[in-house]
Amino acid sequence: MSKMNLPNKLTLLRILMIPIIVIIPMITSLDVNFFSEVTLSNFIILIVFCIASFTDFLDGYIARKNNLVTDFGKFMDPLADKLLVFAAFIVLVELGRIEGWIVTVIIAREFMVTGIRILAANNDMVISASKLGKLKTISQMVTIIVLLLNNFPFALIDLPVGIILTYIAAALTVVSGVDYFIKNKEIILKSK
């Protein structure tokens, strides 16, 4: 049995950070203002989320640079991203910082794309993330960061950057999903 390479270990580390994001809001003693309108709980979630997001960049960079791209990585890396983003968005819904219908659209898109990936895998194909899909992921991650900061520092000048970013992320989610379906329609049609 071969050892797991560093990029795949980083992907698994990202998955292991996800429960922390979900558990931290349950610790009521952390629900105190840290700075501005940001609680200590939100700040800890933000740090964990940023570290986990950085591992996403790092594992991909190391894998490409050192020719360590694996089928495991191609499948698990996007899945880890989805789980990380889902956890953060669900926490933000509970905090009342994003509307549930937007998170539902995001989750629905990801389930549909994952379904296509499974169909592809059944046909011995692996579909890597597209540039539009990566842009969607980045927009979602930036949105999460701004919402965890409760729109700080933009709230100081009454600029609703968090809301604007939320709708940009939602639009990119839908557009990248449509693009994904169009580019992979043969896989869907072949599976009938």
- Residue 1: inside a domain: no
Q: Are 145 and 46 in contact (CB under 8 A)?
A: yes
Q: What is the DSSP string of 63-124?
A: HHHTT---HHHHHHHHHHHHHHHHHHHHHHHHTTSS-HHHHHHHHHHHHHHHHHHHHHHHTT
- Residue 57: inside a domain: yes
Q: Whole domain around residue 56: which residue ranges?
A: 6-190
**pTM confidence score:** 0.89
**CATH number (domain holding residue 124):** 1.20.120.1760
- Residue 49: inside a domain: yes
- Residue 104: inside a domain: yes
* pLDDT tens by residue, 37-66: 899 999 999 999 999 999 988 998 999 999
Place of tokens 């549909």: 112
Which residues sit opposite 39 in a β-bridge? 33
- Residue 116: inside a domain: yes
Q: How many domains does the chain have?
A: 1
- Determine the pLDDT at residue 192: 60
